[in-house]
Amino acid sequence: MKKNFEIAFPIISKETKPFYPSENICPICNTDRRLSSSELYVLNVGALEKVSKNTSMMSDKLEGFCHISYHPGEDSEENGFKVDIVEAAKCGQFDIYFCSINCMRTFFNTIVDTVEKKQNEGKIK
Ligand SMILES: [Zn+2]
């Protein structure tokens, strides 16, 4: 059963506090994970600044991003596009908390659905 679910992308931007999400809210069902002792899944994405041969550290010089881009073939009349999932994540890092496998699946399916929708819009002439 396919659900029609929409997410306002980007879900993280330069207005977001560092080390997102400080609220630990599931982006699908809005469950606050701080208030629950049940399962939790975390998508951790980030970069560290290499400061020496054996040391890397968190740095406020970094901004993280996550996009899915479409690049049409050379002979295509379609336009390329991208979906900004995360932009300008402070310190180059972000976490996304999911309360369940089902919410995590919905999140990723929604991203793919958004890419597909953008591509289909680009085919309308
Ligand atoms: Zn959830």
40 part of a folded domain: yes
Q: Around 101, how many Cα atoms within 13 Å sit in the side-chain half-sphere?
A: 0
pLDDT of residue 61: 93
48 part of a folded domain: yes
Q: How far is the CA of 96 from the centre of ligand 1 (A)?
A: 11
66 part of a folded domain: yes
* Residue 111, domain extent: 19-121
The three-class DSSP label of residue 57 is strand
Number of domains in the chain: 1
pLDDT of residue 4: 66
Q: Say whether pTM exceeds 0.95.
A: no
* pLDDT beneath 50: ranges in the chain: 1
What one-character DSSP code corresponds to residue 32?
B
Tokens representing residue 49 in the block: 């600044």
94 part of a folded domain: yes
pLDDT of residue 84: 94
12 part of a folded domain: no
1 part of a folded domain: no
46 part of a folded domain: yes
pLDDT of residue 50: 94
23 part of a folded domain: yes
pLDDT of residue 1: 44
Q: How far is the CA of 53 from the centre of ligand 1 (A)?
A: 40
Q: Name the strand (E) or helix (H) holding 115.
A: helix 101-123
Q: How far is the CA of 49 from the centre of ligand 1 (A)?
A: 32
Q: How far is the CA of 104 from the centre of ligand 1 (A)?
A: 7
Residues 6+ apart with CB under 8 A from 27: 7, 11, 96, 98, 103, 107
pLDDT of residue 34: 67
